[in-house]
C-alpha cells in the first residue's frame, strides 16, 4: 500500500516544481511571450537572451506558448494585467486581432533596415523574420517535382501529399490563402481537384512532417527553408522544395511591445534589437527562417541553394480577417465535410 511518506514526498516534489519566485537580481526583468520552438537550447532563444543581456543590464525572460495564436489568446485572457512586456512570434494574418486587443503601443522602431520582399510598414509591429511556404519533396521518390501550383493541383493523384488543417494550424491557413491568392473565386474547384492527391490533412505541422520523413507521403506542405535543416544538421540533400512559377506565399513573423509594460524603454530597445545583426544572424540556423534585414555576413551556403521564389504572394491581413470564415467553409465543402 502507499505509505504516507511517499505521499508527503510527492507533495514536496510538486512544490519544488513550482517555479521558484524570481530571484531578485536587482536588474529589471523584461518578459517576452513567444512560441515554444523559440525557447529551447537549439532555438534562437538562449543566444538572444545572452546577447541582449550583455548590453541591456536587464534580465530577459521568455515565456514559451504553443504558437502565435496561443500568445494572442493568453493576452486576451490576461488583458491589462499581463506580465508581458513584449510579444514575439505572431504571423501577419493575426495583426488585426492583436491590434483589436488594444494592448499594444507603437514600436517607435526605424523599419528602414528591413529587406522583406514586397516591403512592409506598420507603426506597431516589427517583423523579425519571414519564410515562404513550399512543398518539400523526397528526391528518392519524386523524380519530376511540380513546377507550378497548377501542376501540383492537376498532378498524378497516385502521388500523395500531406497538408495541414487551416482550422488548427498556421501553415494550413497559409496554404488556404496561397490557393486563394492564385485562383481567387476558382479556388473551391481547384481544391476539389487537388483533394484526390491529398492523403491526409493533419492538425499541425509536426504530424504532416512526421508522415513525410517516415516515407508515408513523398511531398508535404512546409517551408522553402526546410531543406536547409536537413543539409546543415543531417548532411543530406535528399529533401528539396519545389519552386512554383505562380510564386510562394509569404509568412512574416512579427514582434510588438505591450502598452501596459512597466519598462517601456527597455521593451522598445528589445524591439530595436531584433533588427540588429546580433539578433538577425541567429535566425537562419536557429529559427530556420530568413532574416528580415539584409544580412551583415553571408548566409550559410545551404541557404544559397534554396528556392528563391519568383514572386512573394500575400493577402492583406484585413481582407483575411473579413473572409477567413467563408473561405474555411468553402475549403470544408470542397474537401467533403
Q: Is 142 in the site for other proteins (CB under 8 A)?
A: no
Nearer to other proteins, 40 or 118 (CB): 40
Closer residue to other proteins in complex, CB, 69/114: 69
Nearest residue (CB) to other proteins, 38 versus 249: 38
Where do the DSSP E strands lie in the chain?
29-35, 59-65, 86-91, 104-105, 126-138, 161-164, 198-202, 219-223, 239-242, 248-258, 290-291, 312-313
Please identify, among the stretches 39-47, 107-115, 245-253, 273-281, the one whose residues bind other proteins according to the rule CB under 8 A: 39-47
The CB-of-298 to other proteins minimum distance in angstroms stands at: 23
112 or 337, CB closer to other proteins? 337
Question: Which of 10, 50, 296, 310 contacts other proteins by CB under 8 A?
Answer: 10
Asked whether the beta carbons of 198 and 160 are under 8 A apart, the reply is yes
Please tell me whether residue 66 binds other proteins under the rule CB under 8 A: yes
| CA distances (Å), origin 280, targets 272, 293, 300 | 11, 7, 13
Binding of residue 322 to other proteins (CB under 8 A) = no
User: Which residues ranging from 146 to 185 are in contact with other proteins (CB under 8 A)?
Assistant: 160, 165, 167-168
What distance, in Å, lies between the first and last C-alpha atoms of the chain?
A: 51
Name which of residues 110 to 139 contact other proteins (CB under 8 A): none
Site string for other proteins, 187-226 (x = CB under 8 A): --------x--xxxxxxxxxx-xxx-xxxxx--------x
CB of 267 vs other proteins, minimal distance in Å: 19
Nearer to other proteins, 114 or 302 (CB): 302
DSSP 263-323: -HHHHHHHHHHTTSHHHHTTHHHHHSSEESB--SSPPPHHHHTS---SSEE---HHHHHHH
Cα(321)–Cα(234) distance, integer angstroms:
39
For the bound state, the minimum distance from the C-beta of residue 213 to other proteins, rounded and expressed in Å, comes to 5
If binding means CB under 8 A, how many residues of this protein chain bind other proteins?
Answer: 71
Is residue 77 near other proteins by the rule CB under 8 A? yes
Tell the smallest beta-carbon distance from residue 134 to other proteins (Å): 15
Q: Which stretch binds other proteins (CB under 8 A): 13-21, 114-122, 252-260, 263-271?
A: 13-21
Residue 207 to residues 9, 55, 132: CA-CA distances in angstroms? Answer: 38, 40, 20
Helix and strand element counts for the chain (H, E): 14, 12
CB-nearer residue toward other proteins: 37 or 107? 37
Q: Choose the binding region for other proteins from 74-82, 104-112, 176-184, 305-313 (rule: CB under 8 A).
A: 74-82
Can residue 11 be called a binding residue for other proteins (CB under 8 A)?
yes
Which of 30, 72, 103, 275 touches other proteins (CB under 8 A)?
Answer: 72
Residues 6+ apart with CB under 8 A from 246: 148, 149, 150, 182, 311, 313
The answer to whether 65 contacts other proteins (rule: CB under 8 A) is yes
Report helix, strand and coil shares of the chain as percent, to nearest 5: 40, 20, 35
Rg of the chain taking only CA atoms, in angstroms: 22
Cell numbers linked to 249:
506565399
Binding to other proteins in span 241-300, by CB under 8 A? 288
Name residues whose C-beta falls within 8 Å of residue 275's C-beta, 6 or more positions apart in sequence.
109, 111, 113, 114, 126, 128, 292, 293
Q: How long, in residues, is the chain?
A: 337
143 contacts other proteins (rule: CB under 8 A): no
CB 59 within 8 A of CB 29: yes
Q: Does 29 bind other proteins (CB under 8 A)?
A: no
- Window contacting other proteins (CB under 8 A); options: 32-40, 111-119, 177-185, 269-277: 32-40
Amino acid at each position: 500500500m502507499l505509505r504516507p511518506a511517499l505521499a508527503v514526498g510527492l507533495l514536496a516534489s510538486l512544490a519544488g516544481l513550482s517555479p521558484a519566485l524570481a530571484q531578485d537580481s536587482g536588474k529589471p526583468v523584461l518578459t517576452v511571450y513567444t512560441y515554444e520552438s523559440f525557447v529551447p537550447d537549439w532555438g534562437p532563444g538562449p543566444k538572444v537572451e545572452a546577447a541582449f543581456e550583455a548590453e541591456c543590464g536587464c534580465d530577459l525572460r521568455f515565456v514559451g506558448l504553443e504558437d502565435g495564436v496561443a500568445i494572442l489568446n493568453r493576452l486576451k485572457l490576461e488583458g491589462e494585467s499581463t506580465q508581458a512586456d513584449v510579444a514575439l512570434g505572431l504571423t501577419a494574418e493575426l495583426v488585426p486581432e492583436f491590434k483589436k486587443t488594444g494592448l499594444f503601443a507603437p514600436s517607435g522602431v526605424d523599419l528602414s533596415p528591413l529587406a522583406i520582399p514586397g516591403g512592409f510598414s506598420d507603426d506597431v509591429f516589427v517583423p523579425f523574420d519571414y519564410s515562404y511556404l513550399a512543398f518539400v519533396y523526397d528526391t528518392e521518390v519524386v523524380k519530376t517535382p511540380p513546377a507550378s501550383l497548377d501542376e501540383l493541383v492537376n498532378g498524378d493523384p497516385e502521388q500523395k501529399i500531406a497538408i495541414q488543417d487551416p482550422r488548427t494550424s498556421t501553415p494550413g491557413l497559409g496554404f488556404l490563402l496561397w490557393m486563394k491568392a492564385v485562383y481567387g473565386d476558382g479556388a473551391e474547384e481547384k481544391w476539389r481537384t487537388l483533394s484526390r492527391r491529398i492523403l491526409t490533412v493533419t492538425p499541425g505541422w509536426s504530424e504532416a512532417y512526421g508522415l513525410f520523413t517516415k516515407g508515408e507521403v513523398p511531398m508535404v506542405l512546409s517551408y522553402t527553408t526546410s531543406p536547409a535543416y536537413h543539409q546543415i544538421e543531417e548532411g543530406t540533400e535528399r529533401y528539396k522544395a519545389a519552386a512554383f512559377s505562380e510564386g510562394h506565399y509569404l509568412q512574416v513573423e512579427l514582434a510588438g511591445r505591450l502598452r501596459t509594460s512597466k519598462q517601456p524603454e527597455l521593451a522598445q530597445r528589445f524591439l530595436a534589437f531584433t533588427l540588429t545583426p546580433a539578433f538577425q544572424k541567429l535566425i537562419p540556423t536557429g529559427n530556420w527562417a530568413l532574416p528580415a534585414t539584409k544580412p551583415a555576413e553571408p548566409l550559410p551556403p545551404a541557404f544559397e541553394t534554396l528556392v528563391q521564389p519568383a514572386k512573394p504572394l500575400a493577402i492583406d491581413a484585413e481582407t483575411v480577417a473579413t473572409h477567413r470564415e467563408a473561405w474555411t467553409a468553402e475549403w470544408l465543402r470542397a474537401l467533403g465535410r
